[in-house]
Structure 1
Amino acid sequence: MGSNKMLRKTDRSDRTLKVRGRIVALDRARTFITLLVLIHHSAVNYTHFGNGDKMRWLGFDLIVLFNDSFFMACMFLISGLFVHGSLTPRGAADFVRNRAWRLGIPFLVSIFVLMPIAYYPTFLRYHLPGTTDFSFFHFWWRTLTVGPWPSGPAWFLWVLLALNIAAAVLQAVSPRLLKTSGLLIFSLRDRPWTAFAAFLAASVVIYVPMRLIVGDMSWLEPDGYPLPIQTSRILLYAGYFLTGFGIGAVSLRAGILSEEGALARRWPLWLAFASLFYGAILLQVYAHHNWIADFDSPPLAWQAGYGLAFSLFSAAMTFTVLTVSLAFASSRMKLLDAMRPNAYGIFLAHYIFIIWLQYAVYDYSWPAFVKFAVVFAGTLALSWAVTALLRKIPIVSRMI
């Protein structure tokens, strides 16, 4: 009886929240990941493992490794948090139509327009001999007909759309299972250590076996179409998304992600664990470079160890991002709050400015950090400005 009262209370709280506005902490978490995407793509050209700019800095290798080991899985979980709140009042058909509008159309625009514009400088620098007279139209047509046809960061959109459709099907086919899962997660709101351990274990189970089976370098891209996904992470992304879906199925405001909850209060501990697990990843990388004779074929023990460290870090860092956002929800964060309305558009547009600015500074002998700073600041400013202008068009503002 007490549990039913609690659920009715939290349902009322969530309804009040929808009237009063958005959940600031979760908006900030999503915007923060978008900012990390810009940092990641601005830095990757100046890493030692890449084949980009001749100016490089080891610090960027550490930043890129840090981001790549958690941030997209975290973004899928955050995206899943809002699905139930949109799906339930809309119904499955209207929900899928809305997601196709907000995810499918931007994906198509990205692969047919934005990504060819973004990758054109790469063609200009690395073209085959005798092709310097290719115009952009020639490059665009060759991309679509001959390939390769890259999707760039837009791969996230088609995968997220597919997961949203799967969520709508799951809700229609087995609503009781979803509600039971949501209540199970809700019951952990006062047991943060159990929740943390369960999420760590789930992360290991859904990632490590796939990594051992297919390796970490395999990408699934059917028939060369721009629908790629890193094979080893298919279940990881799906699992994190469904976890978010389950969290949102009962209550976002008063459940496990309550701003005053036990989980949020322990954010320093989750950060400490994330730091420990990242240290384990670095140890594995050091061992790979210094202690393993066959660099391209590390032993199974190393692969299992790296997969374990990766999955634990991904889970702990996701907890950290969410709980830090919750713990400091009442604090002022000017950059994230200002970015929030334009964050989606910034994500869609940023890759054009990333690659063109990297191309523009390529021939200069500036230190790697200076080039990074120019690329990052220019990308953030330009993609933000373009998004703000585009959102003045009503049909675009309803999409992004």
Structure 2
Amino acid sequence: MSTIDRATSDEPRTRQPAVDDLKTVLVAWVIGGHALLGYSAVGGWPYDEVRETTLTPQVELALMAALGPSGFFFMGTFFFLAGLFTPGSLHRRGPRRFARDRTLRLGVPFVLSAVVLWPASMLLAYRSAGHDVGYWWVLTQRDPALDSGSMWFAEVLLLFSLGYAAWARYGHRLPVWRDHWLPVAVVIIAVATFLVRLVFPARSGQPGDLHLWQWPQLAGMFVLGLLAADTGFVRRVPEALARRSTSITAAVLVLIAVVAFGVVVVRGGMPDVTPFLGGPHWQALALAVTEAVLVVCGSVALLGVAQRLPGRRRLSRSTRRAAFAAFVLQGPVLVATSVALRPLALPAEAKALVAAVVGIAASFGIGHVLVTRTPLRQVLGG
């Protein structure tokens, strides 16, 4: 018998403020992280291709310790949360309307970003750095071709959602939840990640920016969310499971920090990270296992923490509604902010901090206007 109570079929369909809050905080964290990575030597946000100044090694090391581990599993958490709500949405709307709504909600922002917003943003960045390039070059010649900035996740989530809708349309049903699927998911995601990265190393680019190297994690967490959709997960992660997941996540994060610090001290600098990104290396296997543990345990832990925050700490409804719009807008907002800061004789640390603060505030602010005062609420509204 599962320790997670199954939801009753006649339970009223209400939004879950804790889930909305979690997604909002994750979006803000991603925007701030991208702003900082634009000025880092290790990279991770395309402004680093034209950055005019770079963070000091000491700050970069601190940045990697603070933001690096979150990059292992935050996107997987988004897909887990999406999976939790997908079966219910499909059941209420039916396959045809579900496919249409998901295409409007995810496909339109992706195409708009890939064809208009992101090429225009990178054209601005390149021109501000003195590169004589045009729109067509940015659209087709940059690696990867048809880059959409941060909106690649919408393309992948749309593919997963339509795949599930097609599978369910022919009468297939999800099996009943079993608690042991969490450790099983860790094993499957770890093995699949290692195998996929033998061909597509981490951070490699594919046309359409599909992030194939991350698909085992994303697909695994989406499916895990589907399987847990009719349990009590979305309302209340069981206390024991939330506590255990939090402890494991914290232990792994501490271990990463200790090992990374030890390696830097022993080597006297940053090591070559290439073997970790993929290929037949023990480092790639170690990273795949670490990611799998963090994405499964971390996603459950974050959801449990969000559900247990006192009500008075809840974020405002307007902020929640603007979260998806903020995610869509972050690329143009961050690039424009960095370009505006470019002529100023400020250290990279100051520019990165300003870009992060302005990026978060402006993305959510503009997003709020779009979802409350324009017809774009049909696409971008939360």
TM-score normalised by length of structure 1: 0.80
Matched, 1:81 2:67: no
C-alpha distance in 2 between matches for 1:48 and 1:247: 40
Which of 132, 135, 141 is matched with 1:140 structurally? 135
C-alpha distance in 1 between matches for 2:8 and 2:115: 44
Instruction: List aligned pairs for 1:57-76, cutoff 5 A.
Output: 57-58=59-60, 59-76=62-79
Question: Residues 264 and 327 of structure 1 are in contact (CA less than 8 Å); yes or no, is this contact kept in structure 2?
Answer: no
Q: Note the alpha carbon deviations across 1:10-37, whole angstroms, 9 max, x for none.
A: 223xx32x1xx31111112211221121
* Superposed displacement of residue 159, structure 1: 0.7
Question: Residues 289 and 295 of structure 1 are in contact (CA less than 8 Å); yes or no, is this contact kept in structure 2?
Answer: no
Which of 98, 102, 114 is matched with 1:99 structurally? 102
Instruction: List aligned pairs for 1:322-361, cutoff 5 A.
Output: 322-328=303-309, 330-335=310-315, 338-361=318-341
* Superposed displacement of residue 144, structure 1: 4.1
C-alpha distance in 2 between matches for 1:394 and 1:294: 48
Q: Note the alpha carbon deviations across 1:212-238, whole angstroms, 9 max, x for none.
A: 4433243322xxxxx212232122211
Matched, 1:207 2:207: no
Question: Residues 86 and 95 of structure 1 are in contact (CA less than 8 Å); yes or no, is this contact kept in structure 2?
Answer: yes
SS in 2 for 1:395: coil
SS in 2 for 1:11: coil
Question: Residues 79 and 218 of structure 2 are in contact (CA less than 8 Å); yes or no, is this contact kept in structure 1?
Answer: yes
Which of 29, 34, 55 is matched with 2:22 structurally? 29
Question: Residues 16 and 235 of structure 2 are in contact (CA less than 8 Å); yes or no, is this contact kept in structure 1?
Answer: no
Unmatched 5+ residue regions in structure 2?
A: none
Matched, 1:279 2:257: yes
* Superposed displacement of residue 42, structure 1: 0.9
C-alpha distance in 1 between matches for 2:376 and 2:256: 40
Question: Residues 204 and 311 of structure 1 are in contact (CA less than 8 Å); yes or no, is this contact kept in structure 2?
Answer: yes
Matched, 1:264 2:242: yes
Question: Residues 357 and 378 of structure 1 are in contact (CA less than 8 Å); yes or no, is this contact kept in structure 2?
Answer: yes
Q: Note the alpha carbon deviations across 1:365-395, whole angstroms, 9 max, x for none.
A: 4343322221122112222222222223453
Alignment match, 1:305: 286
Unmatched 5+ residue regions in structure 1?
A: 189-193, 222-226
Number of matched residues?
363
Closer, same or farther in 2 for the Cα pair 1:78/1:281, shift >3 Å?
farther
Matched, 1:158 2:161: no
Instruction: List aligned pairs for 1:240-259, cutoff 5 A.
Output: 240-248=221-229, 250-251=230-231, 254-255=232-233, 258-259=236-237
Alignment match, 1:168: 165
C-alpha distance in 2 between matches for 1:379 and 1:292: 29
Matched, 1:113 2:111: no
Computed over aligned residues only, the root mean square deviation of the Cα atoms, in angstroms, reads 3.1
Alignment match, 2:371: 391
Alignment match, 2:53: 54
Alignment match, 1:197: 183
TM-score normalised by length of structure 2: 0.83
Q: Note the alpha carbon deviations across 1:311-340, whole angstroms, 9 max, x for none.
A: 222323222211111222x43335575521
Closer, same or farther in 2 for the Cα pair 1:236/1:93, shift >3 Å?
same
C-alpha distance in 1 between matches for 2:247 and 2:359: 34
C-alpha distance in 2 between matches for 1:258 and 1:80: 16
Closer, same or farther in 2 for the Cα pair 1:196/1:150, shift >3 Å?
closer
C-alpha distance in 2 between matches for 1:73 and 1:39: 18
Q: Note the alpha carbon deviations across 1:332-351, whole angstroms, 9 max, x for none.
A: 33557552110011111111
Closer, same or farther in 2 for the Cα pair 1:32/1:354, shift >3 Å?
same
Looking at secondary structure, tell me which structure has more helix per residue.
1
